[in-house]
Amino acid sequence: MTEKRADITIQAQGSRASFRQPELELGKGLDVGTANLVSAVQDKEGNLTIKSQRNAFIDIEQDDFTRNMLTKLGVQYVVLNGRMVVIGDPAFELANIFNRETRRPMKDGMISPKEVDALGIEKLLIEKLLGPPQVEGELCYFSVPANPIDFDMNVIYHKGVFEGLLSKLGYTAKSLEEGFAIVLAELADEDFSGIGISCGGGMHNVCVAYKAVKALTFSTSRGGDWVDRNVANALGIKASKATAIKEKGVDLRNPHGREEKAVEIYYRELIKYTLINIKKRFESSDHMPSFPEPVEIVFAGGTSMIGGFEEVVRDELEKIQFPIDIKHVRRAEDPLMSVAKGCLVAAMSDL
């Protein structure tokens, strides 16, 4: 089995992958996402290394046949409470092969209350991505959602859980709101002024900033998982299968066939819902800065990767008469990496 996305190593400057272990700067960034966990580090030459794993696992009966099969496929597993558990990207691939659902440690942006094994799995995945700290107490900024505006939930428990987990691994953990991470990663040319929106699996996270100062942050409770759940219901398939169809490359402007049409219908609804909620929140806030000029709005996160995303966003923004003058709607160059990069920027500037 090939691990297509596992441990992707991206050299931001200089394009050749290298196998030697370069000396790293101190400080790490970690994007704790409902769908993906992503880490970011930088070496002394300024090259960025990003690693990612699906935030998912699958447990399998412990018998010789399965053990041999996993070994032959080169899939790593751990034994947890007497069951074989496969974590991360291979779990997602196995789920689709066996027509099963993956189990997910997080739901709607936060640690899942329904998953008893969630913490153990998160620890394994984070250890795999971050490795040990380079010095005791190395700083690690991790992303947290802002409190949702359309859902009664606060992030205190979630934040505490990951702080604890990271400090058990030897890090000094500091949290960073996900929308603000997008501003730090993507709006440097704008003096860190504008609107950053992270379109994730569990939710959307929004941050309005003026000269690197947060003015307003919040989240809305629908993301890519919402599309998958609804497409799965509409087509009578598993949600993991719906995810695979969606990620294969659908263009919202030109969907092909019944499955892509279902993705398009729910995707447009998701974008509309999210922008209307953002508009309402902006209109009811006392904290909105009065920007002297039209602002840049930058989208990141996996859910912004669908074909035609920016066009649909622009259409919907026009329809709802957005309360702020927008100079430009843009998608981050590497949407899946932005939050981790923003966390790394915070860690390195904190040092």
Ligand X SMILES: Nc1ncnc2c1ncn2[C@@H]1O[C@H](COP(=O)(O)OP(=O)(O)OP(=O)(O)O)[C@@H](O)[C@H]1O
Of 159 and 210, nearer to ligand X (C-beta) is 159
The nearest distance, CB 126 to ligand X, in angstroms, is 14
Is residue 246 within the footprint of ligand X (CB under 6 A)?
yes
27, interface contact from Mg ion, ligand X, none, CB < 5-8 Å by kind? none
Judged by CB under 6 A, which of 336, 343, 344, 345 binds ligand X? 336
What tokens were used for 225? 């998982």
Judged by CB under 6 A, which of 30, 35, 48, 185 binds ligand X? 35
201, interface contact from Mg ion, ligand X, none, CB < 5-8 Å by kind? ligand X
The nearest distance, CB 236 to Mg ion, in angstroms, is 29
Determine the residue type at 68: N
**Segment 186-205, which members bind Mg ion (CB under 5 A)?**
200
Mask 32-71, x = binds Mg ion (CB under 5 A)? -x--------------------------------------
Give the closest residue to 108 by CA, choosing from 261, 241, 281, 226. Answer: 226
Instruction: Please give the angle made by the CA atoms of 119, 120 and 121, to the nearest 5 degrees.
Output: 90
Judged by CB under 6 A, which of 28, 29, 30, 33 binds ligand X? 33
Which residues, at least 6 apart from 4, have a Cβ–Cβ distance to it below 8 Å? Answer: 89
Tell me if 279 sits within 8 A of 293, measured CB to CB: no
- Quote the CA–CA distance of 294 and 325 in Å, as a whole number: 5
- Quote the CA–CA distance of 226 and 160 in Å, as a whole number: 26
- Quote the CA–CA distance of 305 and 232 in Å, as a whole number: 20
Judged by CB under 6 A, which of 203, 239, 298, 313 binds ligand X? 203
Binding site for Mg ion (CB under 5 A): 33, 200
